[in-house]
Amino acid sequence: MIKRTSSLILRIIALIATVTYALPAKAQGLNLIRDAETEHAIRSYATPIFQAAGISPQSVRIFIVNDKSLNAFVTSGNRMFINTGLIMKAKTPSEVIGVIAHETGHIAGGHVAFRGENVDKAVVTSIASYLLGIGAAIATGKGEAAAVIIGAGQGFALRNFLSYTRQQESAADQAAVKYLRATEQSPEGLRDFMGVLRGQEVLLSKNQDPYLRSHPLTQQRYNFLENETLNSPFKGKPDSPDTIKFHNRVVAKLVGFLEHSTQVLRKYPEEDQSQAARYARAISYYRSTDIENASRELDSLLAESPEDPYFLELKGQILFEFAKGGEAVAYLEKATELAPDADPIRSLLVRVLVEENIPTEDDKALEHITKILQSEPNNAGVWRQAAIIHGRRGDKGMTYLALAEEAYGRGKYDDAILHSGRATEVLAKGSPAWLRASDLNSAADRKEKQQKDRS
């Protein structure tokens, strides 16, 4: 029997090991997605810029917002948000890089320090849920369980706290030019991006892209970027062929993932046999449950690039989604070996190993879980998987501890207190696990009291 999820959201999550958070119709917030390939692309663009700004690349968290409008912004804690619309509409990688450079200027300039404590707390709390959301979808089988709103419900108004002064915008432009020059790039991409926004200035505010509303564009700013482009020693320097190829792939992937099948085929018709076009169609066919054509397109890509971790990831996902989890493991393990830092791929592998329910694979799954938690210690979805494995083994203490970690990460402090308390009763007193359970119990108790005090 073919294994299918009942939710389009889960099919999309399954498609590219992406966590897509569907917002309730009345909610106002950010719809975040996770995808290893897109995150890798943005990180590769941003790392040289961060280094030029004297910022540790590891200190900046990058989040992808599922929104068609052109926008990017930063919040406190070195968090950078980039809309899929900006990535998909960018004609060249340099446009995305230019925007990243500008936003980095805001971070380096300390402009985000004036955003407001309440908003920052809301963002921090919701991001934690975003990182954990996939666990809810896996555990319950319901796409709506993965829903998370970044911000404070209907009160979350980006333009109310993301707006910059003209002086800050000018300073960020100057910093961006400096970083681009240091990395031997022209500000042409940033100028071109601003040129697109420039044509929207006459539109009513509600019709403008959010970037223009929160980053006021003046003629003086545009003239500055135009002049810097004309005088740049790297004027006219093209993006590298590899960067263009990767950018085109990511754009195609997002189009295949986020747009209707008719739009995908309009942008990438069958006669287009480029790598990006076949990739977009493979994803779109899969979303439409046309597995025969999806496999045809994907297998042609794998025949050309058998060591591509993202093609392997997609192949493994399709096999798993259609009741061939045993075959999927080999593809996902190879993808993980080729992209060891891609936590979304590793998370998908854990999901497959756990759901296939093969006891001999539990140790392997726990090893992968440990690696994920090293970089994402509050990933409740992964803690949920750990709880399942420990529960199957009859290890009550570790099961309670994993459930407590999951609850704490989701902000369910009463549940965290309950499970951590049970863990301390079962685990060996003084052991590392017992100490962690005890500390978690105290931390959850403090958090719960703080919540009550605020309410």
Structure tokens at 322: 């259609």
Does any domain span residue 306?
no
Query: Is residue 366 scored above 90 in pLDDT?
Result: yes
- Whether 104 contacts 114, CB under 8 Å: no
Taking Cα atoms as reference points, which of 149, 239, 229 lies closest to residue 187?
229
Q: Is 72 helix (H, G, I), strand (E, B) or coil?
A: strand
- Whether 137 contacts 146, CB under 8 Å: yes
- Whether 440 contacts 408, CB under 8 Å: yes
Residue 138, pLDDT score: 29
Q: Is 116 helix (H, G, I), strand (E, B) or coil?
A: coil
Structural domain boundaries enclosing 93: 8-230
Does any domain span residue 137?
yes
Question: Average pLDDT in the 121-146 region?
Answer: 41
Residue 309, pLDDT score: 97
Does any domain span residue 256?
no
Neighbour tally for 440: CB within 10 Å: 22
Give CA separation, 154 vs 4, 30, 150, 278, 327, in Å. Answer: 34, 11, 10, 40, 44
In the chain, the number of structural domains is 1
Does any domain span residue 420?
no
Does any domain span residue 30?
yes
Give the CATH number of the domain where residue 159 resides: 3.30.2010.10
Rg, Å, the chain Cα set: 23
Quick one: 266 exposed, middle or buried, by C-beta within 10 A (0-12, 13-18, 19+)?
Answer: exposed
Backbone angles phi, psi at 38, to 5 degrees: -65, -45
Residue environment code for 240-261, b if the CB has 16+ CB neighbours within 10 A, otherwise e:
eeebeebbbbbbbbbbbbbbee
Residue 4, pLDDT score: 41
Please give the span between the terminal C-alpha atoms of the chain, in angstroms, as a whole number. Answer: 50
Residue 381, pLDDT score: 86
Does any domain span residue 144?
yes
Does any domain span residue 86?
yes
pLDDT digits (tens, 9 = 90+) for 139-181: 333 333 333 333 333 334 444 445 677 788 889 999 999 999 9
Q: Is 229 helix (H, G, I), strand (E, B) or coil?
A: helix
Query: Rounded CA gap, 209 and 200, in Å?
Result: 8
pLDDT digits (tens, 9 = 90+) for 195-235: 887 765 544 455 555 565 556 666 788 899 999 999 999 99
- Specify the amino acid at residue 353: L
Residue 332, pLDDT score: 96
- Whether 371 contacts 355, CB under 8 Å: no
Query: Rounded CA gap, 390 and 427, in Å?
Result: 13
Query: Rounded CA gap, 166 and 171, in Å?
Result: 9
* pTM strictly above 0.85: no
Neighbour tally for 218: CB within 10 Å: 13
pLDDT band of 8, cuts 50, 70, 90: very low
Does any domain span residue 145?
yes
Query: Rounded CA gap, 399 and 366, in Å?
Result: 13
The per-residue DSSP string of 343-390 comes to: HHHHHHHHHHHHHTT-GGGHHHHHHHHHHHHHH-TT-HHHHHHHHHHH
Of residues 407 and 69, the one with the higher pLDDT is 407
Quick one: 262 exposed, middle or buried, by C-beta within 10 A (0-12, 13-18, 19+)?
Answer: exposed
DSSP 318: H
